[in-house]
Structure 1
């Protein structure tokens, strides 16, 4: 397609630049910087004697994996396609969901030694121009050799570095990304990275899944409340157990206290150290299960947990009640659908256990207050992280802790500071 037309007789050199080359994409360039960038992206350059311009021809042909459902974001009733390591095709997937002329794309380049292509995607008539400009400014300020992944990019651009909470929503699902775009947020895609980043983001958004909008609103609300319950249990259950055993045993029934005391008779460690042993062992098993090949990892996670738990109880290192507490905590953390938020929960529970051991229930309440104060003080790319609770937005509660019928959810989330506050009215009958 490139060489054969050049071997044919052409009356004028300009014909080559106009129509003689058969390629999916060509571009006339005039500077050495444009030529260099094109070569680094895998394109070829055509020079003509006597011409001050050159022709960039898209001849990229490296291997790519097929579009498939993301392993870490499985859905029951939603679509089963996912992003790959080609940003152009990922943008095409988003266009399938939002075939609108208002879908805008900005192309940026970052990296001093090895450049990376970054794309800002948003709806021009919905997304806030100030938010788009803020995100673009932060990305352009990055001065480093290279940025290799969308997760690394989010770490460079986030508001606070010392918070355990995720401030950007990372996903490989085009349907989830499209849903946030329609809400007025901005998507950031990066070539060579299969994920996309949605900003700004609030905490409640991490509890929402694409399946929530494909099932009945009552069932979706139940599952969403279940995730919030899992969030609370995963953080506070080990701390509550430590506080009760150490300080407040009188608040539990006598039979239950007797059972707990009997199980701890041979345990030589304090409740705090006992909990730390089990929690760290569980985290080691979980990490080993992720890093090992999949068949071996599943075996390590299941068999290792059972064998180590039973052996630890029989050896008198931990009590059987503690094994139950840690198991419930692990299951509760798995309920939280977002991996980044689930990882944050696993970290937060350790300082909570320390507060419970030294100060009992008072320590847990103090930790809860500090956690809430930290939560409402956070921002995500300039937007309050606590929306719609702090600041309070009544209309947005219809799609927060529970999900109302879709026809009743008419307000866009104010997290993205959208130009249009209201969505198009839904149907007047049924769930939609």
Structure 2
């Protein structure tokens, strides 16, 4: 571990009770600075695992890099080319492009174990519940949600009786990049609308399932939405990093009224208190599946070759999801990913479109719509968006911590501009 980096991170701590081990864990989780290809653990009994997942005889496979360090904060992700042969027809040979995800080498603790298991449960329990719900209501095939990578299988250990994740844990997916999906550095306006449609559909289906088929929801979805340990670990880090960021960056906005600066700081304190004291979010008409991490690397798109206005969307990285109001995913996604000029001119249009798609899905489920007028949706946004402020500031702070505190450079202009846009939107729309 880079001791200079740890030393600089200690400056963020000031007098908060965060120990050195927590700093080490933060860097290993959020930067992967110490992880190189040479340090990735060998794939024990991998051939057998592949054949079990694929239900085919595996002739050979090749492992290749897929992501850059830092693109995924709690796992190692690599591409996999697999040559298979049909068990019933030896002349049928197929090449499969896959992806596998493993824990960070030498770093499997309770936090990472819960993250890994959360992702497994999303694919083995939550997605099947959503599909079962859609099927039971005869929702048209064209209106069903198709926004997730195909899942082939997983293991948490080589020990069949293991209850906790160890270094031999693996999750196996299709390789979306081989299907021409990609993560752009910024989404254009058409991309934003396409992603909002998927997000509205996911949120609406989970709300409707809870209201119309509560047994299915509380048996197959709800048990995995309340991961307390992961929240407490991340929240401790979040508070420390964000405090330093706010102290530095708000002072740079000389044109911001003092009253707004005070309001922002008060809201951050309120967010912290809520996170410290609330273990389970109560059910409301608006509580649903909350991804929590909808930044560009976790959203892949593919343009239709014949219709460039049609965008297909895939959402990945289901490690930190939880249960809360739809507002948090919606606001976080828009304010982090939409272009600043698009936010300035189309913020309300984005909200209106999300609402239209949300209601459209609710109609397919025959769920009562009394709680989902535009006025009530906007009221929920105005009531709850303020609690996104801590996460929005934390998102920006994470992306400056090495640059600003380790390299002692000015905050990148793109981050400053994004922060100003967020502050302005909150003020202009009465969200603060």
User: Where on the TM-score scale, by shorter chain, does this alignment land: which range?
Assistant: under 0.3
TM-score when normalising by structure 2? 0.23
Task: Normalising by structure 1, report the TM-score.
Answer: 0.23
**Which structure is larger by alpha-carbon Rg, 1 or 2?**
1
Higher helix share: 2
